[in-house]
Structure 1
């Protein structure tokens, strides 16, 4: 099994591609976050794992003071370029678990499709210490969900995933239904659940675009180059030959907000 610490560093290898092809979060998610968290102009935010700044920008435009901690130097450089117009955003390169930040100084700590990479022994405790009294934690996850119409492409592609050993042999792969998604589990000694909602997104990808998307996932990037290229070639051929050159991908972006106890 590939080490989790190595996997979470693979995104830095494809920073520009990540910025180009990863699905964006819906505007309504950020409007909901701002309202439910009670953010005001001048609120202090800490973002963990901003990547290329895809979740940073929708909050930066509101004038919040944002400190973002990004593990990957390449991703951080792209984020600085993408967000250069915002003087209210500071990007720090480093591991969240190791970066020294002022305690009790943030109104909100948030992570978009990054929280699961943090050390479970550290993440809640450190975030709790960084938040002001009554501060909040927002966790955004990207879920691959069922199209609830038979998942024809998903089922047709499983043989290719199996061929290149990208499936868990002990667990049958399946997608959750949007309506069945649940809040991210919080440390109940440190946070109380305040709000949860999930936001469905459907994106149509050409065969070429879908292969680009696959090339941003950590388990694929960790495979040998020859395996990656053969896998991508087979997936592109499947989409072109059996799905008229394009597929619809169903996502749900979930928002869990916890309040510091």
Structure 2
């Protein structure tokens, strides 16, 4: 099973329920990269474009590479009116960029799906001297604000959540410095989400393992999660951290 294309099954749901990033994140990336209409930018695996429009609006020469056919079509429909928008439906790991190089390459919760030695080496090779690599995602803490509810949901997982394959992110972002990058920096921002039972179930249904969950487990799992949240007042609080990893190719 290739988890990289799992999300491509549900583009509309994915776009609606995945958490958004904060404005401060994009301001940081745009400032560090000094983005303008003269700069060339590559986004790896944009999905449905939760991290696309702020970069497009700088007027840069934007290119995306997206493995999913449905995601690619979704992106074309969503951003095709921008004259500086371009997307290719291809696998970053094997795609030949020819002589094309970039001032900024960025990934929103995507680069970790690529083996480290391929991801960092290839990005380094297609970055211009002085170019920036930006990697970010959302890390969610569902325990701190509602520990009792968290434990009840954990019991539902233990009883009903059985999938054929588990996902495990093995990438260590700090290792980027082992591939020639310099000026490695980390920064993060905090956000809080409050969801009801239906919203939470819609959100977790966009996780890769949850997409692959089959009957008879699926119905019992979601029924159990819903009951746990309803019993807790139909509310779950999620504390999000949005980490940003930046690195630069030497001049």
Q: Same fold (TM over 0.5)?
A: yes
Match among 192, 200, 210 for residue 202 of structure 1: 192
Of stretches 139-148 and 214-223 in structure 1, the one that deviates more from structure 2 is 139-148
Alignment check: 8 A CA contact 2:187 2:245 kept: yes
Q: CA deviation at 1:195?
A: 2.4
Consecutive unaligned residues of structure 2, counting only runs of 5 or more, are: 164-171
Change (3 A) 1:128 1:183: closer
Alignment match, 1:41: 37
Match among 216, 223, 230 for residue 213 of structure 2: 223
Q: CA deviation at 1:223?
A: 2.2
Change (3 A) 1:112 1:166: farther
Of stretches 219-228 and 16-25 in structure 1, the one that deviates more from structure 2 is 219-228
Match among 147, 152, 157 for residue 148 of structure 2: 152
Match among 51, 56, 62 for residue 55 of structure 1: 51
> Where does 1:8-27 land on structure 2 (aligned, <5 Å)?
8-27=4-23
RMSD (CA atoms):
2.0
How many angstroms apart in 2 are the aligned matches of 1:206 and 1:187? 41
Alignment match, 1:252: 241
How many angstroms apart in 2 are the aligned matches of 1:41 and 1:19? 27
Match among 180, 185, 209 for residue 175 of structure 2: 185
Change (3 A) 1:183 1:97: closer
What SS is found at the alignment partner of 1:97? coil
Match among 110, 117, 132 for residue 113 of structure 2: 117
Alignment match, 1:179: none
How many angstroms apart in 1 are the aligned matches of 2:150 and 2:37? 44
Q: CA deviation at 1:11?
A: 0.3
Alignment match, 1:87: 83
Instruction: Give the 4+ runs in structure 1 shifted more than 6 A.
Output: none
Alignment check: 8 A CA contact 1:183 1:255 kept: no
Of stretches 31-40 and 207-216 in structure 1, the one that deviates more from structure 2 is 31-40
Consecutive unaligned residues of structure 1, counting only runs of 5 or more, are: 168-181
How many angstroms apart in 1 are the aligned matches of 2:49 and 2:71? 9
Does 2:62 match 1:72? Answer: no
Alignment check: 8 A CA contact 2:26 2:54 kept: yes
What SS is found at the alignment partner of 1:63? coil
Of stretches 188-197 and 111-120 in structure 1, the one that deviates more from structure 2 is 188-197
What SS is found at the alignment partner of 1:102? coil
How many angstroms apart in 2 are the aligned matches of 1:146 and 1:215? 15
How many angstroms apart in 2 are the aligned matches of 1:153 and 1:185? 36
Does 2:159 match 1:163? Answer: yes
